[in-house]
Every structure is written in C-alpha cells, then in structure tokens.
Amino acid sequence: MSNVNKFEYAPAPESAALVNIKSEYGLFINGKFVAPKSGKTFTTINPATEEILARVAYAELADVNLAVTAARNAFTKTWSKMPAAERGKYLYRIARILQERSREFAVLETLDNGKPIRETRDTDIPLAAAHFFYHAGWADKLSYAGHGSNPKPYGVAAQIIPWNFPMLMLAWKIAPALATGNTVVLKPAETTPLTALLFAEVCQQAGLPAGVVNIITGDGATGSHLVNHPGVDKVAFTGSTGVGKAIAKAIAGTKKSATLELGGKGANIVFEDAPIDEAVEGIVNGIFFNQGHVCCAGSRLLLQENIQDELLEKLKNRMNLIRIGNPMDKNTDLGAINSAAQLSRITDLADTGDIEGAIRWSPNCTLPTKGFWYPPTIFTGVSQSHRIEREEIFGPVLSVLTFRTPQEAIDKANNTPYGLSAGIWTDKGSRILWTAKRLRAGVIWANTFNKFDPASPFGGYKESGWGREGGRHGLSGYLKGQY
C-alpha cells in the first residue's frame, strides 16, 4: 500500500490579539492581585517561539501564609455558612463566564503551553466550563452523594496542578472543592501560570467572595510550603509519581486528606478482530494528543501478532499526515513540547530505545528551528525490559509490543507499576468485558481513547495515585462523611 498523499493546507492562524497579556502578574490573594513580599518574579515563555510572555510573581512562605489565612477566613466567615444553592449559583456564573471568554482562554492556553489551538478551543476550555456546570448542580445535593445525610467540607484545600492541561486541571480541582464548601489555595505549574491568573479575573467578574479562591505562583519550593502549611486541611495534586510520593510522606502523621493523580503508562490493546482503521485513529489520538503530554496516554501499544504488519503499515501512513508546527494555526495536529527540560527528558528516554535495540520510526517532517519540538515517534522490537516500555516518557513516543493470546495481553498490560488507563479494541463485547475485568487500571476505554466527561470519575491504582476526580466519586475527596 502506498502512502496517502498529504493535503496542502493554507495557514489558518488564530489571532494572539484576542488576549491581553500583562507584562507582569501578581499573586491573587483575598480577592485581589498583590505583589509578592520578596518582590521576586520569574518569566513564562511561549514554548513554540521561546519568546517571553510575562513576568510572574514568585510566592515564598510569607505569601503562602497570607493565602492560607485568606482561605481560612473565607471558609469560616462566608463560604461554609452560605446556603449550598447560593454556592452553586457562583459556580454556574463562573461556568458561563468561561464559555463567554472561551476563545480568550484558548488562545492564552496555547501561547503559554504550546498545545494546538484546535485542542484548547475544542477540548480543554469546553471541558473546563463543563466541570463547573456539572459541579454547580451538585452543590445543593450533597446529601445524595453517598456520604451521609449531612456531609461536611474539610476546610482549606491546597491544590497543585501540572503544566499539561493547566486550565482543565484547574477546573478538576476548584469546581468540586467549591461545590462541597471548601475554600482553595491553588498553585499552577511554573511554566504555565497564565490561564490560572486569567481565571482569577473570572472569579472577580463572577463576584466570588474574597478569599474563596486564592492563586499563588512559583516553583516546587512554593508547592512544598503550601503542602506543609499547618493551616491546610486537604491536599490535591496532579503530577509526577515522584512528587506524589514526597507529598504522601510529608502529610503522613497529619490529619490532612489527599487526592493524588499521578503518572501512567497506559496499554492500548488491539485484538485481531478489531476494526483496524478505527483502531489506528484511536492509537494516534491516544499517544499524540497534546504532544503525548497526557498522564493517561496510550504509550504502550499491544498488538495481536497476526495483525501487526497490517496495522503498523496503516499507522505509519496515518502518522505521515500529522501536521506539526505553529500551535496557533488551526490546522496543526502536534504542537510544541512544553519546555526545554521536558524536551531533554523525552530525548534522553527515547535515545535509550535506540541503545537497547528497539527500532525507531518517525515520519519525514521539518521541525521549526525556534522553540521545543519532537517528532511523532514509534518504536518496534520493544521488550518489557526496555526503559521506553517501563518509564513514563510524557511525550509523542509510542512503544509497540505484540501478544499471541488474550491472557498474554493481560499479563503484559499489567506488568507496570502504574495503573491509570488502558484501551481495548475488539469487535466482541464479551472480549471487552473479559479484558476490562482483568486489567488493573482505573480508566478503561473500549474502541476509543482519551474521552472525558465531568460525570465520569477519573483516577488510578498503584503508583498512579489515590482517589478519583470527577463524577459523584470525585466529591468524596472533599467531603467528610456524616453518617
């Protein structure tokens, strides 16, 4: 089969003028932007061009103290005493404002993160608004959430989010916390703080009481001050397994509750009776969506031996059509890697695949000379001992393994310290159920991949974390049951 010819697309850039990026941002504490006590700042850049976007305040312990105090005062004096239906109205208001300003948020997310505008416009921001709509509906129905007739909030929630889905992760954290009556101090990732700071303006626009949401910016040291603060009752973290373990150790022996959504090494299993063309689309979406910067990415492809050649040929043909380049172009499929540090990690781990004997393949593509870029890559001839099969790369790199029997597929899929996600491709419903029952993963997709809904709980097992986010199950992380 010959390669499918590429279509030539005329540039279709989105306008950066849709968002007004300030030259410098402060910390959002007690309903207003304030300068950090130390006066320290850091820069955030556009990873596609390496241009500086803004200077951002760096929060130290004194600033964390102010933010936690503001959150505590708001909790005890305002938010916990407010009727639940009234709290829900604020969430509805925030959701509507996000929808109204969705294009502005999508552009800012793409500029600060490097992901394609098509993804921020069609996935990230709509889903963020949907989470606020969904949790607004729960605010006055918590007695039906399965935690007794009168469940109570914890109090002050410290929330730390990653750089791969900045605005969506903010919504995953803040929406359930506010719906259940908690107040929040949130720290976005240091490489992607801008949409969180724009969300602070949304809080002001919605008239949210001062101190209910506080947003502080900084690096890992700032996050550590927040996690270890004695005024925090609840910790919610999404990020690497290594940092998750450090947080678990830090709060051990305290009364703090934790939700940890950590790394993954998802298996995408394709059986011999699967619809091949649909599976190829699912594989591409599973690993190349958001440049592979997805904790639940299908980064391990398990193919039944007798369809390996056919599927790989079609997969390579499909990968030849992936458009790489300017994330602000509406035609772009694969954007920039978020940072130089992440690009270095992806490169180093992928290079071990070459060293350990796997066979690398990437489509012929011209990468931009400015910014941080990595081509979509697959490795065949991979064994379970290869580092690229065992370690989370967090980039557009796919490891391909084969299996002969369904049980062998299960054994290989479960042979990982992670347990976040998996995919099953087959024509038989009975095989889907048989396989799903045996996979040790928190989220399992059948004949699709990377589909999300606010009403569906998300989370993992083993080193992929504790607890669930989204759905009724996700409320439990923010409620103390009263039975």
Q: How confident is the model at residue 5 (pLDDT cuts 50, 70, 90)?
A: low
Q: What is the DSSP string of 30-49?
A: TTEEE--TT--EEEEEETTT
Q: Who wins on pLDDT, 352 or 482?
A: 352
Tokens representing residue 279 in the block:
């599976």
List the one residue out of 214, 106, 84 whose CA is nearest residue 159. 214
Q: Percent of the chain at pLDDT above 90?
A: 97
pLDDT for 75-85, tens place per residue? 999 999 999 99
Q: Which domains are delineated in the chain?
A: 16-261+462-480 (3.40.605.10), 267-446 (3.40.309.10)
Q: What is the pLDDT of residue 4?
A: 53
Give the C-alpha separation, 269 to 274, whole Å. 10
E strand or H helix that includes residue 117: helix 117-119
Residue 207 token pair: 């008239």
One DSSP character per residue, 4-30 reads PPPPP----BPPGGGS---SEE-EEET
Positions marked catalytic? 261, 295
Share of the chain above pLDDT 70, in %: 98
Instruction: Check residue 483 and give its pLDDT.
Output: 53
**Mean pLDDT, rounded, for 453-462:** 96
Q: Fill in the DSSP letter of residue 367.
A: P
What the block records as the tokens of 3 is: 């390669």
Hey, what are 341's tokens?
A: 């540090």
Say if residues 461 and 266 touch (Cβ distance below 8 Å).
no
**1 pLDDT more than 50:** no
- Mean pLDDT is lowest, of 3-17, 125-139, 203-217, for 3-17
pLDDT of residue 481: 76
Q: What is the pLDDT of residues 183-238, one digit of tens each?
A: 999 999 999 999 999 999 999 999 999 999 999 999 999 999 999 999 999 999 99
Q: pLDDT for 306-315, tens place per residue? A: 999 999 999 9
Distance between CA atoms of 248 and 237, rounded to whole angstroms? 10
Q: In this model, does residue 6 exceed pLDDT 90? A: no
| The residue to which tokens 């921001």 are assigned | 125
Read off the pLDDT of residues 262-304 as tens digits, 9 standing for 90 and up: 999 999 999 999 999 999 999 999 999 999 999 999 999 999 9
Nearest residue to 114 via CA among 460, 395, 425, 426: 395
Name the average pLDDT for the chain. Answer: 97
